[in-house]
Amino acid sequence: MACAAFDGQVVRHDTRIEDLLKKFVCVRLVQANDLDLTLFQFDFDLTFAVFFLNADRTIYGRFGSRSDQKNAEKEISLEGFRKALTGALELDKGYPKNKGILAGKQPLPVTMKRPEEYASLAGKYKPTIDYEGKPAASCMHCHQVREAERLSYREANKPIPDQALYPWPMPTVIGLTLDPKEKAKITEVAAGSVAAQAGFQAGDEIAMLNRQPIISTADVQWVLHNATGPTKLDAAVLRGGKSVNLQLALPNDWRVKSDIAWRATTWDLRRMALGGLVLKQDPATNMALRVDYVGQYGEHAMGKRAGFKKDDLIVKVDNETRPMMESEVFRLLLQSKSKGDKVPFTVVRGDEKVELTLPMQ
């Protein structure tokens, strides 16, 4: 069985993990150049992602989750990695008899088989890194794959779909907080959330979701990433030593509360929709958005040229005055406006209201 890691961090010394890894053929990949997208489908904003595979390319599971820019290891741990390794080995023992329940974990059809097939990346990278010359410049970063996918919609004058805007949602979006030291054990269920309505409880361990065996938070994210709302997902949890069946009903637009501000790929969304502005929530305003940063160069200076200033309070975008996160502004503009459209903004600057117009890119 293979264990492939992307942008692999060095695993700190842990003899139990080392013993488990001896049962795998370990492969470390540090580039997205010529990456096989028909097999390796994961969250391209991660700094550490793991695949557990059979030699015939059947995927047993994935590992690696993230929801914060500075605290990149908040959702992962050595203990969780060890339990995911153990879970993969258990699935391997039952293979190929259990191949049917692994079907949902396998890669889905893609429009581009290699990153270099995207127009924005074509001809810019060779299949391998130039270690003798310019290794950094010749290395395609994983986040560039997601950026290229979004650009393909933008250049075709198509709305960027929710799945591409809000990839790999964390379980907190549906109301579940998982223990990073376990495979998929619930520590908290948000009151009133869709998870609470489905009957999930703190202490439950998610064993199956959408008919797939779960060995990590990343496995839960894989299911959520590929779920389109509205839909219903069957789940089985271990509760008090017994298996309990639940059904998770996802409404339309369920994923839009995902906060994608931490993602490296969001920087290009800020260029397209906000002209290089970075917006932060400000509870004192109706729109709850304050200009925290104004880009200074190139296409990221479009907001500056349009007249925006740091600490401007945005109270209206187009015709919207409802409270929104920065991520929701991206969705509003990138699904309803095309390149070249000019969008009116109303900002409060001191005691004055200022009307500005921002061209979309």
pLDDT class of 10 with cuts at 50, 70, 90: very low
Cα dihedral angle (50, 51, 52, 57), rounded to 10 degrees?
-160
Q: Same CATH fold, 265-359 and 171-256?
A: yes
Q: Is 326 helix (H, G, I), strand (E, B) or coil?
A: helix
Cβ contacts of residue 297 below 8 Å, gap of 6+? none
Select from 259, 251, 274 the least CA-distant residue to 324.
Answer: 259
CATH number of 171-256: 2.30.42.10
CA 147 to chain centre: 12
265-359: in CATH 1.10.10.10: no
Positive or negative CA dihedral for 55, 59, 61, 66? positive
Residue type (1 letter), 44: F
The domain spans of the chain are 171-256, 265-359
Query: Does pLDDT of 136 surpass 70?
Result: yes
Q: Using omega within 30 degrees of 0 as the cis cutoff, is the peptide bond preceding 96 cis? A: yes
**Residue-level pLDDT at 219:** 98
Q: What is the pLDDT of residues 233-272, one digit of tens each?
A: 999 999 999 999 999 999 999 999 899 999 999 999 999 9
Q: What is the pLDDT of residues 302-316, one digit of tens each?
A: 999 999 999 999 999
How far is the C-alpha of 284 from the C-alpha of 281, rounded, in Å?
Answer: 9
How far is the C-alpha of 349 from the C-alpha of 312, rounded, in Å?
Answer: 5
Select from 1, 6, 3, 81 the least CA-distant residue to 37.
Answer: 6
Asked if 274 and 299 touch (Cβ cutoff 8 Å), the reply is no
How far is the C-alpha of 248 from the C-alpha of 189, rounded, in Å?
Answer: 13
The CA–CA distances, whole Å, from 137 to 37, 51, 300 equal 22, 26, 21
Q: What is the pLDDT of residues 162-172, one digit of tens each?
A: 999 999 999 99
The CA–CA distances, whole Å, from 65 to 43, 52, 151, 300, 304 equal 8, 15, 24, 29, 34
Cα dihedral angle (145, 84, 173, 325), rounded to 10 degrees?
-40
255: DSSP letter? G
Mean pLDDT in the chain? 95
Query: Does pLDDT of 5 surpass 70?
Result: no
Global confidence as pTM:
0.94
Positive or negative CA dihedral for 153, 69, 113, 30? positive
Asked if 76 and 64 touch (Cβ cutoff 8 Å), the reply is yes
Compute the half-sphere exposure of residue 325: CA atoms within 13 Å on the CB side of its CA.
12
Q: Look up residue 357 and give its two tokens.
A: 């117009």
**Residue-level pLDDT at 336:** 97
